[in-house]
């Protein structure tokens, strides 16, 4: 893995053959209010489960920790320093098990619906993902909030008012 070569990889971190890694997640400023990143994460989550991997690892800037925590990723105690053109950037490593992502164990319900809701439903119904009764119930309850989630996403996409 690319991240593993730059930091000390502890025993508590997932093994390389058990995870899918996103080294960097960057979008152009023009597309940041669109759901491009959410769609990409949703697609990668589907691929991770279908390939039989158990974890998703993301290396991203520490400034995005709030949104990543809301969609179910957990910040690891590992930081990566990268030299860019003129500055050093400290990136965080975010880890989550695919089961906890798809079933909403650590996610905020509105954000879970925006990113993992449809994918989770498809994977559970197709039998690609093992989920216990509590996980299925949680996913179903979160699904009831889909309308609120869609309205929140629509509100985020509106053009900002100039002051």
The Cα–Cα gap between 30 and 48 comes to 28
Residue 4: inside a domain, yes or no?
no
pLDDT per residue rounded down to tens, the chain (163 residues) = 555 555 656 667 777 788 888 877 776 666 666 677 788 888 988 888 888 888 888 887 777 788 888 888 888 877 666 656 566 667 778 888 888 888 888 888 888 888 888 888 888 888 887 778 888 888 888 878 877 777 766 666 655 555 5
How far does Cα 131 stand from its chain's mean position? Answer: 18
Residue 11: inside a domain, yes or no?
no
Residue 61: inside a domain, yes or no?
yes
Count: domains in the chain: 1
Residue 58, domain extent: 16-157
The Cα–Cα gap between 137 and 75 comes to 26
Q: What is the pTM of this model?
A: 0.72
Cβ contacts of residue 111 below 8 Å, gap of 6+?
67, 70, 71, 149
Residue 3: inside a domain, yes or no?
no
DSSP conformation class of 28: -
CATH number for the domain that contains residue 46: 3.40.630
Residue 1: inside a domain, yes or no?
no
Residue 8: inside a domain, yes or no?
no
Residue 96: inside a domain, yes or no?
yes
Go through the chain and tell me how many residues it has: 163
Residue 10: inside a domain, yes or no?
no
């Amino acid at each position: 893995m690319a991240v593993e070569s730059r930091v000390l990889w502890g025993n508590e971190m997932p093994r390389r053959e058990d995870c899918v890694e996103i080294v960097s997640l960057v979008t152009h400023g023009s597309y940041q209010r669109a759901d491009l990143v959410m769609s990409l994460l949703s697609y990668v989550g589907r691929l991770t489960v279908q390939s039989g991997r158990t974890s998703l690892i993301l290396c991203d800037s520490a400034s995005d920790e709030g949104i990543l925590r809301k969609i179910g990723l957990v910040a690891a105690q590992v930081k990566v320093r990268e030299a860019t053109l003129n500055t050093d950037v400290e990136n965080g490593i975010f880890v989550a098990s695919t089961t906890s992502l798809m079933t909403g164990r650590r996610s905020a319900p509105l954000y879970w619906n925006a990113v993992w809701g449809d994918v989770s439903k498809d994977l559970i119904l197709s039998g690609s993902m093992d989920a216990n009764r509590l996980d299925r119930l949680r996913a179903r309850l979160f699904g009831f909030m889909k309308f609120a989630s869609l309205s929140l996403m629509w509100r985020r996409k509106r053009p900002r008012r100039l002051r």
